[in-house]
Amino acid sequence: MSNLEINNIIDQHLTPHSMNADFCKRVYSTDPSIYSQRLRKIGFVNKERVLDAGSGFGQWSLALSELNKQVASLEYLEARVNVSKDIFTLLNKENIEVRQGSIENLKYDDNCFDAIFCYSVIYLTDWKKTLSEFYRVLKKGGVVYICNNGIGIALYNLLFNRNPSKDFNQRLYAFRNLVRHFSFSKIFPMASVIVFPSKMKRELARLGFENIIIDGDGQIQIDKEANSNVTQFYKHKFLGLTNVYEVIAYK
Ligand SMILES: C[S@@+](CC[C@H](N)C(=O)[O-])C[C@H]1O[C@@H](n2cnc3c(N)ncnc32)[C@H](O)[C@@H]1O
């Protein structure tokens, strides 16, 4: 794919140097094989129908579409949906269906997906509601993958202000998340929810998910034949606290 054409699409839809534009350019300048190697490791291949839940600018949807038959790419923000649509059209991707909507309230039938992929999104939602929706739309025997933030990443962002942009201050956002977390209230509804892995595991089990595995970002290996040496986007721990973790569970 041509970076120039992709950058033109990004510039058409997004304000230059905004958080959205910076994030989108970052993901599309990443080697696409990094995403497919990650997917192979967790066994997200040869599935009939996969949901990319909270697909952002669609880079994981693209990788999923190379390895599986059909991909439903669902994203909340219209600008991100529009960028994804134009990039998929540019690349002649006919097996990705893009929709705008919320993962808390999925407009899909019960038992219709073989797999659900949800990277760095669930903490922005009513996570228990989202998990119950995942359970509903997943077929029996289907698999869900979730990558989620722990408390370590909020502390890291507070200290190091990771990837700041003109319109987004990661440090301030992390501060709000931590205040919200420790105040046990919804003082800052726009901030993200910190969910400890043990709590996530309990909720998944309560909903009926089985064989739940939790480990650091990029660490879970389902396909033993796949390359185990994949790119980790985030460290598992920061100052001994859970930073970013991934989850695999089966219905
Ligand atoms: C950190 S980005 C991750 C995007 C993508 N999964 C990735 O790995 O690049 C979080 C995304 O979740 C989307 N999002 C937030 N709440 C959502 C919801 N309720 N339903 C669907 N998407 C949502 C945001 O708009 C944003 O694009």
d(CA 250, CA 114): 10
Q: How far is the CA of 225 from the centre of ligand 1 (A)?
A: 30
* pLDDT of the residue at 111: 98
Ligand 1 pocket member 75 (CB < 6 A): yes
Q: Rounded to two decimals, what is the model's pTM?
A: 0.94
Indicate whether 184 pLDDT > 80.
no
Indicate whether 42 pLDDT > 90.
yes
* pLDDT of the residue at 16: 85
* pLDDT of the residue at 120: 95
Contact assessment for residue 39 and residue 224, using Cβ atoms and an 8 Å cutoff: no
Q: What is the mean pLDDT of the chain?
A: 93
Mean pLDDT of 118-137: 96
Fold classification of 32-150+195-250 is Rossmann fold (3.40.50)
Nearest to residue 232, comparing CAs of 246, 244, 245, 218? 218
Nearest CA to ligand 1 atom 1: 120
* pLDDT of the residue at 2: 64
Domain ranges of the chain: 32-150+195-250
d(CA 97, CA 85): 9
Q: Which two tokens stand for residue 7?
A: 């950058």
Instruction: Report how far apart, in Å, the C-alpha atoms of 162 and of each of 30, 41, 114 are.
Output: 17, 27, 35
* pLDDT of the residue at 1: 56
Q: Which ranges in the chain belong to alpha helices (H)?
A: 3-13, 19-28, 32-41, 59-67, 78-90, 127-137, 151-160, 170-183, 197-207
Q: Which two tokens stand for residue 50?
A: 């996969």
Residue with tokens 């970002």: 217
d(CA 213, CA 201): 8
* pLDDT of the residue at 96: 98
Q: Sign of torsion, CA 81 60 174 197? A: positive
Q: Which two tokens stand for residue 202?
A: 């309990």
DSSP 122: G
Ligand 1 pocket member 238 (CB < 6 A): no
Report CA 75 to chain centroid distance, whole Å: 10
Q: How far is the CA of 54 from the centre of ligand 1 (A)?
A: 4
Out of 20, 76, 121, 148, mutate this one to test ligand 1's pocket (max ligand atoms within 8 Å of CB): namely 121
d(CA 149, CA 147): 7
DSSP 124: G
Contact assessment for residue 72 and residue 113, using Cβ atoms and an 8 Å cutoff: yes
Categorize the per-residue pLDDT at 52 as very low, low, confident or very high, splitting at 50, 70 and 90.
very high
Out of 52, 76, 81, 162, mutate this one to test ligand 1's pocket (max ligand atoms within 8 Å of CB): namely 76
Nearest CA to ligand 1 atom 13: 54
